[in-house]
Amino acid sequence: MKKVHPAVVGAQPFQLAEHRPVERLFEDAEGRDRLEKSLSRYPEKKGALLPMLAYAQERNGWLSPEAMEEIAEALDLTPAYVRSVATFYTMYAKRPVGRYWIQVCTCISCHVNRGEEVFESFLEHTGTRAGEVSEDGRYTVIEAECLGACGFATVVQVNDRYFENVTPETVPEVLAQLEPGEPEA
Amino acid sequence: MSEPASETIRLTIDGVEVAVPKGTTVLKAAETAGIVVPHYCYHPGIPTRPAQCRMCLVEIEGQPKLQPSCVMTAGDGMNVVTQSEAAREARRSVIEFLLLNHPVDCPICDAAGQCMLQDYAYETGQLESRFQEAKLVLGRDRIADDILYFADRCILCTRCVRFMRDVAGDEALIVAQRGHKAYIDTFPGKDLDNEFRGNIVDVCPVGALVHEDFLFKARAWDMDSAPGVCPGCSNGCNIEIGAKENQVVRIKPRYNAEVNSYWMCDYGRKHLVMANRGARIDLPLIRRNGELEAVHWGEALTWLSERMPEGDGVAVVSPFESTESIAAFRALLARIGISGGGYRLARGDEAQLAGFPKLKLRAERAPNATAAELFGFREVESLPSIAAGATVIVAGDRLDDLPADFAGDAGFFAYLGSHLSEAARNADVILPITTFLEMEGTFINHEGRLQRFRQALVPPGVARPAWMVIRRLLSLLGDGADVLEAEAAFERAATETPGLAGIAWSAIGPKGVLVRTDGAAAPSAR
Amino acid sequence: MGFPHDHDLEIGTILSRHFGDPKARELDTWLTYGGYEGLKQAVEMDPGEITTIVKDSGLRGRGGAGFPTGLKWSFMPQEKSGPHYLCCNADESEPGAFKDREILRWVPHLLIEGCLIAARAIRAEHAYIYVRGEYFPFTSILNDAVVEAYEAGYIGRDILGSGWDCDLTVHIGAGAYIAGEETGLMSSLTGGRAEPKIKPPFPAQSGVFGKPTTVNNVETLAAVPMILINGADWYRQWGTEKSPGTKLWCCSGHLVRPGNYELELGVPLKDVIYDVCGGAPDGKKIKAVIPGGSSTAMLTADELDVPSTYEGLQEAGSSLGTASPIVLNEDTNIVRAMRRIADFYAHESCGQCVQCREGTSWVAKILKRIEDGDGRLSDLDTLYDLCEQLTGRTICVLADSVVFPLRSSLDKFRDEYEALIGGRA
């Protein structure tokens, strides 16, 4: 179990290539630890909602309706409320996504630096259409709004990693870096 | 609840000087001057005010931006202009925005004619849209087993969401997604099942939320509407009954600050829609040679007055009868010498509206047990078995749970009712009476609040209010004059119990009036 | 120095001195750089004294609005009747802005120290740093620094033996630009949709969890320790009377040397674009600059000789915003670029106010139609009218944000719109 300081427990990367899915989030020691530490940082239970939604995605790779219900129960909220919050934010995957969730910025600064071409190049090299999971379950490619690295356009976020100054031509290099030295699954 | 006398402030709204208590919003202050500021998200019964529809923006002298009048507190000396060029232009543009992706399917929309989008669009005179793009299509969804959501008509005022959260205390309805993709929804697989969910349809200012019982049933302008009092339980919620072709098609709560605020429960709605069901007794029937025979009123009442036995017997009244009918029935019993009398009262689960605790679906599922008590009737679990030769007289109780041989060997059995059950068929005389929908009258709710209801439907056949029938019978028996109007029926009743003494018909205002019930045990107390 | 490039304009040395130096992230090294000296002073000072120094320094909020920081702090109740909170806004999401991430990335302890000093000034017992969700790599760096600072006694109970307690929690968002709006951030931090709320109540009266709250930007808070150590006058040696100090610039778009530069406020914008960033690459001319992040009015290449101060850019009809110029070269299709900006705001509208929910996407759709060659001249009238309808009518200023670039593009590049429309009425 990863030890996490309570001050940063709600700020862990939650878009990861590797998942340790669980059916019930708060039934093992890690889940309970995350929940308790998060609750300790806010005067109201509801404050722990975003951290717990993030944790569900960190563990399971996406945010399932079952996870929303379990979080609702843990925080004394209604499942409907949890869904209302979860659907407001774009980073929570309400459907399973590929192991590598590739978000290509096409906002203004990336747009003028060939962002759309980079996006098309990712679709081409992964053999997918926008938003869909590739057949091998490896990739999902979407267009993203500003990722906050405008000076280094085009910017691509893959799970918890940033790739900067990406051009349509360097897309294969980015894809190659995703699984350095890993044996094929 | 009386508020401590508060400071009064003065402001000018559209040139009219208004004095309001300190803390009043500009929108409310305008209302006191008869100025309606158009609005969507604000609803007087919902405590939260997000000020998000931006429809109630008004100009306030000295403020650079238009201000939402629903949350802006009126200030002393403030000069508010609700009809300024800027304010009108802002409203016009809100309407234009709301109509961009709206399907404009008014011809098939249940809300047409009573739609705040339609009304304001008409007012701002926008006939053409500048929008040339493809409209977003979101479709429709079921959010409760009896409520549909037409997402394309929704203006996202969130009244429904906030009613559920802030009034019903059940955060089961939400805004999903965001921006122009936002819509109203529940958690998947968890439709609304709250007892007060029907109110979301009433608060919807447009036709986005529709009650399935009403779906495509009537155009607003084709309905007749009558103010009523819900008979579903002893709370006495004020309602508006919409009828078309003499059928109840829509029930909406009617505001009463002392009883139900702007709300009612779904049990009440369902109960009333069921009122359309079942075959009615529409002619008087008397038993001749063992067979029931239809006769006209004169013959039936003369026949009855000649045969009405004197002396004790079994009397049953329904707590669904009006106060005037119950009083008349008591007078009849007194005339023939029946002293007691009972009523049966169904009970069910209670449900309280968290945001307005006076509104409760009460266990006692009848509107007027208090009046029955006031006139000396007592609740009985079940009717006594009828001894051979006994006199039985029933007013209103449908007897539909009783065996077919009920009172089969009674000496005399008179039945005043609206529906002919197997047990009622054993009566020697059957008199068709109206239900509360077909008459004017009063109910007295659980706390002793006397409230008037008006006639919503035409009675079937020759059915008449029980009080009219009974007072006529009494006059045939030599006891008083005929009574032909509800007002007279009430005033006669008021002379017959100390509880109603001194209450004038005209004094029963829109909030009703509290009567003295100390003579009667409240049914809920037992 | 600038990051990632050197340049030779006179610069400040407050925020970026250690950019590019990974050792600066570590507490041991940071202490040798003078880290936490400001906090040591602050814990011995009265909250009011700290606020006065920051007020005197003229430091203005670096999140875009430029509100005087010390004044904002002074709105907090002087007498406590319950908890106070500090929120550090690290939800950097304005297209063009990428300065806060560099602070998180290179000098996390500077930010932590700034948060603690501000918390002390506003009598808060808990500071939250709200970082945008996407910034995982930089959040991780911040997280490590926070844990280190906790363990060394700079955060938590009895800070530096002063008897003063203050917690700090890192909280991350999950993809919503509007969470960077002050009240939207508070909604989000408390576990809600990041929907802005109508004021009043103001955050200093009722903010997160209904308690008095101050929200400050990362760059603002990072400037605080040096101001406290060196004093208000020291800070005022840079910049102008109304815009003192230094500012981290985020330069992007068509530039030879895009990136972050810490520059004195008041440097002419054209110097930032041409001297610091090298102008447009490949010998191209510059067509337009959006000087303060995507929500500010476009300037043409001829309008760049303005002092880069809050007041200077306002006079030029635009805004300093987050000092994030986006440079568009002569080949840029202005309509298309504007459509991209409108798409962003339509995507990020929270959907509460009707004008913003419906209007931002309408603007984007009209621009797309013009871009695709199906526009009409009447569309330009509609767009101008929408500029009116989207201004000043909503709870927050997201709708206004699309108007600034839109109106300026219509005013200054009408010929480009008309060329695409081709005379259709």
pLDDT digit string (tens) for B139-164? Answer: 999 999 999 999 999 999 999 999 99
According to CATH, where is 3.40.50.740 located in chain B? 285-525
B367 and B233 Cβ atoms separated by less than 8 Å: yes
Quote the minimal CA–CA distance from C363 to chain B in Å: 10
Query: What's the confidence (pLDDT) of residue C425?
Result: 80
According to CATH, where is 3.30.70.20 located in chain B? 103-115+130-222
Tokens of residue B31, six digits:
């209302």
Give the integer Cα–Cα distance in Å for A47 and B53: 27
C157 burial via Cβ count (<10 Å: 0-12, 13-18, 19+): exposed
CATH class of B5-96: alpha beta
Determine, for residues C198 and B101 on separate chains, whether the beta-carbon distance falls below 8 Å. Answer: no
B167 and B45 Cβ atoms separated by less than 8 Å: yes
Determine, for residues B172 and A78 on separate chains, whether the beta-carbon distance falls below 8 Å. Answer: yes
For B174, the closest of A65, A69, A80 (CB atoms) is A80
For chains A and C, count residue pairs whose Cβ atoms are closer than 8 Å: 183
Query: What's the confidence (pLDDT) of residue C2?
Result: 54
- The second-level CATH assignment, the architecture, of A6-88 is Orthogonal Bundle (1.10)
- HEC per residue, B467-522: HHHHHHHHHHCCCCCCCCCHHHHHHHHHCCCHHHCCCCHHHCCCCCEECCCCCCCC
For C362, the closest of B50, B90, B100 (CB atoms) is B100
**For residue range C378-395, what is the model confidence (pLDDT) as tens digits?**
999 999 999 999 999 999
Percent of chain B's residues with pLDDT above 70: 97
Residue B519 has pLDDT above 60, yes or no: no
Residue B277 has pLDDT above 90, yes or no: no
Q: Which amino acid is present at A97?
A: V
Helix axes C377-389, C414-421, angle to 10 degrees: 140
For A84, the closest of B176, B189, B190 (CB atoms) is B176
Cis-peptide into A43, omega within 30 deg: no
Q: Which one of B171, B175, B181, B183 would you mutate to disrupt binding with A, by most A Cβ within 10 Å of its Cβ?
A: B171
Query: What's the confidence (pLDDT) of residue C6?
Result: 66
Nearest residue of C to residue A7 by CA position? C169
- HEC per residue, chain A: CCCCCHHHHHHCCCCCCCCCCCCCHHHCHHHHHHHHHHHCCCCCHHHHHHHHHHHHHHHHCCCCHHHHHHHHHHCCCCHHHHHHHHCCCCCCCCCCCCCEEEEEECCHHHHCCCHHHHHHHHHHHHCCCCCCECCCCCEEEEEECCCCCHHHCCCEEECCEEECCCCHHHHHHHHHHHCCCCCCC
pLDDT mean across residues, chain B:
94
Give the integer Cα–Cα distance in Å for B9 and B267: 44
Give the integer Cα–Cα distance in Å for C127 and C118: 9
**Interface ipTM above 0.90:** yes
Determine, for residues B182 and C351 on separate chains, whether the beta-carbon distance falls below 8 Å. Answer: yes
Q: Which residues of C touch B155 (CB under 8 A)?
A: 354
**For residue range A112-133, what is the model confidence (pLDDT) as tens digits?**
999 999 999 999 999 999 999 9
Fold classification of B103-115+130-222 is Alpha-Beta Plaits (3.30.70)
Tokens of residue C89, six digits:
């806004």
Determine, for residues A77 and B171 on separate chains, whether the beta-carbon distance falls below 8 Å. Answer: yes
Q: Which one of A12, A46, A63, A111 would you mutate to disrupt binding with C, by most C Cβ within 10 Å of its Cβ?
A: A111
Q: Any idea what DSSP says for residue B133?
A: S
Mean pLDDT of the B414-423 span: 96
CB proximity list for B173: less than 8 A, separation 6 or greater:
A80, B143, B160, B161, B164, B165, B184, B185, B186, B192, B200
Q: Which one of A83, A88, A89, A94 would you mutate to disrupt binding with B, by most B Cβ within 10 Å of its Cβ?
A: A83
DSSP bridge partners of C246: C264
Give the integer Cα–Cα distance in Å for B176 and C413: 38
**For residue range B440-489, what is the model confidence (pLDDT) as tens digits?**
999 999 999 999 999 999 999 999 999 999 999 999 999 999 999 999 99
For chains A and B, count residue pairs whose Cβ atoms are closer than 8 Å: 36
Determine, for residues B177 and A80 on separate chains, whether the beta-carbon distance falls below 8 Å. Answer: no
How many CB atoms sit inside 10 A of residue A23's CB? 10
Give the integer Cα–Cα distance in Å for C62 and C248: 9
Reported for B11-16, long-range contacts at CB under 8 A and 24+ positions apart, including other chains, are B11/B74, B11/B75, B11/B76, B11/B77, B11/B78, B11/B79, B11/B80, B12/B78, B12/B79, B12/B80, B13/B80, B13/B81, B13/B82, B14/B80, B14/B81, B14/B82, B14/B83
Please state which CATH number belongs to domain B285-525.
3.40.50.740
How crowded is the C-beta side of B177, counted as CA atoms within 13 Å? 12
For B52, the closest of C359, C369, C395 (CB atoms) is C395
How many CB atoms sit inside 10 A of residue C80's CB? 13
Domain boundaries of chain C, sorted by first residue = 22-236, 246-329, 334-421
Query: What's the confidence (pLDDT) of residue C157?
Result: 97
Quote the minimal CA–CA distance from A28 to chain C in Å: 23
Any CB–CB contact under 8 A between C394 and chain B? yes
* 3-class DSSP assignment, residue B451: strand
For C172, the closest of A6, A11, A148 (CB atoms) is A11
Determine, for residues B179 and C349 on separate chains, whether the beta-carbon distance falls below 8 Å. Answer: yes
Give the integer Cα–Cα distance in Å for A80 and B164: 12
The H-assigned helical ranges of C254-333 are 269-270, 310-315
Nearest residue of B to residue A77 by CA position? B171
How many CB atoms sit inside 10 A of residue A112's CB? 23
Residues of B with CB under 8 A from a CB of C: 50-55, 57, 64-66, 68, 71, 90, 93-94, 96-98, 100-101, 130-133, 155-156, 175, 177-182
Tokens 């007592």 label which residue? B378
The residues of chain C scoring below 50 in pLDDT are 1
DSSP bridge partners of B449: B514
Query: What's the confidence (pLDDT) of residue B173?
Result: 98
Determine, for residues C394 and B130 on separate chains, whether the beta-carbon distance falls below 8 Å. Answer: no
CATH class of A100-178: alpha beta
Percent of chain A's residues with pLDDT above 70: 97
Give the integer Cα–Cα distance in Å for B250 and B213: 8
Confidence of residue B3 (pLDDT cuts 50, 70, 90): low
Quote the minimal CA–CA distance from B226 to chain A in Å: 37
Q: Which residues of B touch C183 (CB under 8 A)?
A: none
CB interface of A with B, residues 50-109, below 8 Å: 65, 68-69, 77-84, 87-88
How open is the CA angle C186-C191-C196, to the nearest 5 degrees? 35
Determine phi and psi for A8, rounding to 5 degrees: -125, 15
Stated as kind and residue range, the H or E segment containing B429 is strand B429-432
Nearest residue of B to residue C195 by CA position? B178
B59 and B77 Cβ atoms separated by less than 8 Å: no
Instruction: List the A100-105 sheet strands across, edge first.
Output: A139-144, A100-105, A156-158, A161-163
Please state which CATH number belongs to domain C22-236.
3.40.50.11540
SS3 content of chain C, % helix, strand, coil (to 5): 45, 15, 40
Q: Which amino acid is present at B512?
A: G
How many CB atoms sit inside 10 A of residue B262's CB? 22
Residue B513 has pLDDT above 60, yes or no: yes
C340 and A116 Cβ atoms separated by less than 8 Å: no
How open is the CA angle B437-B439-B443, to the nearest 5 degrees? 80
CATH class of C246-329: alpha beta
Confidence of residue B342 (pLDDT cuts 50, 70, 90): very high
How many CB atoms sit inside 10 A of residue A177's CB? 11
Q: What is the CA radius of gyration of chain B?
A: 27
Determine phi and psi for B224, rounding to 5 degrees: -95, 145
How many CB atoms sit inside 10 A of residue A28's CB? 13
For A44, the closest of C132, C155, C190 (CB atoms) is C190
Domain boundaries of chain A, sorted by first residue = 6-88, 100-178
Q: Which one of A77, A81, A87 would you mutate to disrupt binding with B, by most B Cβ within 10 Å of its Cβ?
A: A87
Tokens of residue C286, six digits:
């510059």
Quote the minimal CA–CA distance from A67 to chain B in Å: 12
According to CATH, where is 3.10.20.740 located in chain B? 5-96
Mean pLDDT of the A78-104 span: 97
Please state which CATH number belongs to domain C334-421.
1.20.1440.230
C350 and C194 Cβ atoms separated by less than 8 Å: yes
Tokens of residue B157, six digits:
């005022």
Distances (CA, A) of A50 to A29, B90, B139: 20, 36, 30
Query: What's the confidence (pLDDT) of residue B5?
Result: 60
Nearest residue of A to residue C260 by CA position? A151
Query: What's the confidence (pLDDT) of residue B523?
Result: 41
pLDDT mean across residues, chain C:
95
Query: What's the confidence (pLDDT) of residue C165?
Result: 97
Give me the count of residues in chain A.
Answer: 185
Quote the minimal CA–CA distance from C133 to chain A in Å: 8
Stated as kind and residue range, the H or E segment containing B88 is helix B85-100
Tokens 């990739």 label which residue? A139
